[in-house]
Amino acid sequence: MSYVIAAPRPVSVPVKATNLRFPVRRIYCVGRNYNDHVIEMGGAPGREPPFFFQKPADALVLDGNFPYPSGSSNVHHEVELVVALQSGGKDIPPSAANQHIYGYAVGIDMTRRDLQAKAKQAGRPWEVAKAFDHSAPVSEITPAAEIGILDRAGISLSVNGAQRQNSNISEMIWSVPEIISELSKLFELYPGDIIFTGTPQGVGPVQIGDALSARIEGVGEINLQVCKPS
C-alpha cells in the first residue's frame, strides 16, 4: 500500500530509563479537577461531574522547548499528572480502572487563557485555547510497574525558580480511577490513550525567555523553555 502524501509520523513518548517508547493514540484532558483551581478561575467548589476535552497527539512537546503561540498574549501553565493507558474499554468501573494504567508522566496543559475566556463567554469550543500546536509538554513516562499505583504525590511547578503551583494529587476532586471510569462512559478507551488529569491552584502567564520546571514526586520532572515562535 502506498500513501498519496507522506504519512504523518507516529507520536510516542520515551519510557524512563529504557530505550522504549510509549505510542500515543489520543490525549484526553479533564477540566476543573482541583477545588482550589476551580475557585481561582471564579467557579464554586464542589463535585460537579467531570468534563473532558482533547488535544491532538502531535501537540505533545518532548524536546523541552515551548514556542510562544500566535494569537494570544496570555498563555498559562497548568501542571498536571498524566496517566498513560496500556489497555482500554467501555464502561470501565472505577474498581477495575487501575489495571489499565501503564504509567505516569508530568504534563503541562498550556492554555491560551485569553482565547479560552472569549470562548467561554461566547459559548464556543475550546480548541484554539487548549489544542494548539505545542500545547502539551510532557515528561518521560514512569511505569506503574516500578512505582505502583499513585494516589498521593506532591505536584509542583516553578517559573524561573519561583514556585507557582504546589499541591498534592490526593486533592483531585475526581480520582484517577473515577476519571478513567467516567471517560470510558463517553469514549471507548484504547491502549496508547493518555489523560491529563487537571491542575491545582496557581496557574499563571508565561513569557518568552521563562524557564519552567514541574515535578511530581515519584514520577519525574519536566523542564521547559518558553521560546520565540519559529
| Residues at the site binding Mn ion, with contacts judged by CB under 5 A | 78, 109, 199
Closest CA to 46 of 61, 30, 32: 32
- Give the residue with the Cβ less far from Mn ion, 69 or 191: 69
Q: At its nearest, how many Å lie between Mn ion and the CB of residue 196? A: 6
Q: At its nearest, how many Å lie between Mn ion and the CB of residue 17? A: 28
Q: At its nearest, how many Å lie between Mn ion and the CB of residue 33? A: 8
Q: At its nearest, how many Å lie between Mn ion and the CB of residue 74? A: 15
Rounded-to-integer distance, Cα 36 and Cα 40, Å:
6
- Give the residue with the Cβ less far from Mn ion, 78 or 140: 78
- Give the residue with the Cβ less far from Mn ion, 156 or 199: 199
Report how many helices (DSSP H) and strands (DSSP E) the chain contains, helices first.
6, 18
Q: At its nearest, how many Å lie between Mn ion and the CB of residue 18? A: 28
Backbone phi, psi, residue 9, to 5°? -70, 140
Residues 112, 66 contacting (CB under 8 angstroms)? no
Residue with cell 467561554: 120
- Give the residue with the Cβ less far from Mn ion, 109 or 182: 109
* β-bridge partners, 154: 168
- Give the residue with the Cβ less far from Mn ion, 15 or 78: 78
Provide Rg for the chain, Cα atoms. 17
Q: At its nearest, how many Å lie between Mn ion and the CB of residue 199? A: 5
Q: Which residue is nearest to Mn ion (CB)?
A: 109
Instruction: Using the CB atoms, write b or e for 69-99: b if 16+ within 10 Å.
Output: beebeebbbbbbbbbbbbebeeebeeeebbe
Residue with cell 467501555: 90
- Give the residue with the Cβ less far from Mn ion, 184 or 199: 199
Closest CA to 200 of 81, 104, 75: 81
